[in-house]
């Protein structure tokens, strides 16, 4: 099993955003909630010493960027949305590895949520 880099992690749990997502006609006209859990590789040692936000991965900036993107998106598949969100984080923030779980609550009767869990590095999908 692949092990992520041995660094600290910054995480965001249960970030809920409304968007158009899905393959069915009714899903193309009605916003639904998706939920993101992110775990991102980030060396926080210097920030811990300096107590300065600019020395760490600013989770608020990551969240705001993803919220803005997801609210404007209209993908059919959660797989596509998850991949695009991972690309944004890896390309725009100092992150070398991430684990992203994208859930679609209530999409399947009897389940709390369905979705995908992906791991990516700055160089691409983990093999």
Nearest to 42 by CA among 12, 69, 67, 15: 12
Torsion sign across C-alpha atoms 71, 77, 78, 83: negative
Edge-to-edge strand order for the sheet containing 113-121?
A: 9-19, 32-41, 97-105, 113-121, 124-125
Active-site choice (31, 60, 101, 104): 104
* Known catalytic membership, residue 64: no
Q: Return the residue matching tokens 């107590």.
A: 51
Q: Which residues are known to be catalytic? A: 104
């Amino acid at each position: 099993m692949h092990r992520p880099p041995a660094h600290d992690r910054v995480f965001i749990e249960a970030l809920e955003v409304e968007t158009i997502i899905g393959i069915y006609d009714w899903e193309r006209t009605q916003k639904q909630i998706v939920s993101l859990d992110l775990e991102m590789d980030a060396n926080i040692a210097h920030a811990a010493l300096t107590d300065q936000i600019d020395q760490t991965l600013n989770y608020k900036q990551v969240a705001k960027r993803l919220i803005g993107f997801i609210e404007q998106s209209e993908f059919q598949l959660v797989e596509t949305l998850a991949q695009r969100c991972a690309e944004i984080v890896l390309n725009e923030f100092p992150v070398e590895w991430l684990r992203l779980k994208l859930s679609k609550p209530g999409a399947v009767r009897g389940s709390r949520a369905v979705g995908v869990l992906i791991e990516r590095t700055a160089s691409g999908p983990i093999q």
